[in-house]
Copies of this chain bind each other. A is one copy, B any other.
């Protein structure tokens, strides 16, 4: 397959014009950690900051994909353009998401106002993958009004990715185990909007009650956002417009209160740090005279040094 090499500026211009193939190509550059990324990100920068970035998370089985789909529909009915990133824990085997784009497009395959992409949550050891924030940046610059990021709500880094959105929806459902499970998964802390999905099933009211009591235990500062608890049946779309309304309300509140700016700065900090750390890591692991980390590790294994002393040496302290 030959692919014409196109100048980054042209690709960015086409993506900004809403061309799905240009958007797809830019996100592929992100996933491949292309050397062109520096140039891409520099070209995108002036056009970012407009989209509403919404994280959607919850344990497996709560109906995340169905809910994401239903939220996309509700946003489309409202005339908004929507980009979706579905972030899966990656497998070193597959090197990527197991569900391809096609599986996910479903109802929206012919709609130019929707772009859906499955991404691998590829992480370097000890480092959050920054591919997700970069892909958000691509969709933001491409003019999508809303960028939905669907993550599996298990594992520290998945929860953290969700927490980096402008607004985060935490999904629960009856029959998914008790509240302790939710608390263990760490997802109870990151929600701006809580949604009990499968509200037509037994136990939905109980899940909402349990959730309410658990949230009541959390310390909230005066003037803080009070996360609503909504009920949906994503399959039929019941309750979904209310979720969109709650997200809009959170957006207004967070814009007015300065929380939006704070979160975006936090996201940018995480992104900058991840890039800086990766750069250092590749220096530390470099070949020849730069492979200092290897000899330090060998000394630690031999019991001749300890990890703190080795880290000091690495940093030249």
Residue numbers of A with Cβ under 8 A of B are 37-38, 41-42, 44-49, 88-94, 98, 121, 123, 125-128, 130, 133-134, 152, 154-158, 160, 180, 183-186, 188-189, 217-218, 261, 264-266, 268-277, 279-281, 284-285, 293-294, 296-298, 300-311, 314-315
The answer to whether B42 touches A89 (Cβ under 8 A) is: no
8 closest Cβ pairs, A-B complex? A155-B155, A126-B128, A268-B297, A275-B311, A268-B300, A276-B311, A41-B306, A45-B306
The answer to whether B189 touches A304 (Cβ under 8 A) is: no
Number of copies: 2
CB distance from A188 to the nearest CB of B (A): 6
- Secondary structure at the A interface, as helix, strand, loop or mixed, is helix
A158: B residues at CB distance < 8 A: 155
The answer to whether A48 touches B303 (Cβ under 8 A) is: yes
Complex CA gap A125/B306 in Å reads 24
CB distance from A223 to the nearest CB of B (A): 21
The answer to whether A308 touches B37 (Cβ under 8 A) is: yes
The answer to whether B186 touches A126 (Cβ under 8 A) is: no
Knowing A126-B128, A277-B280, say if A311 contacts B272 (CB, 8 Å). yes
The answer to whether A157 touches B154 (Cβ under 8 A) is: no
CB distance from A285 to the nearest CB of B (A): 8
The residue in chain B whose Cβ has the minimal distance to the Cβ of A315 is B276
A125: B residues at CB distance < 8 A: 128, 160, 270, 273
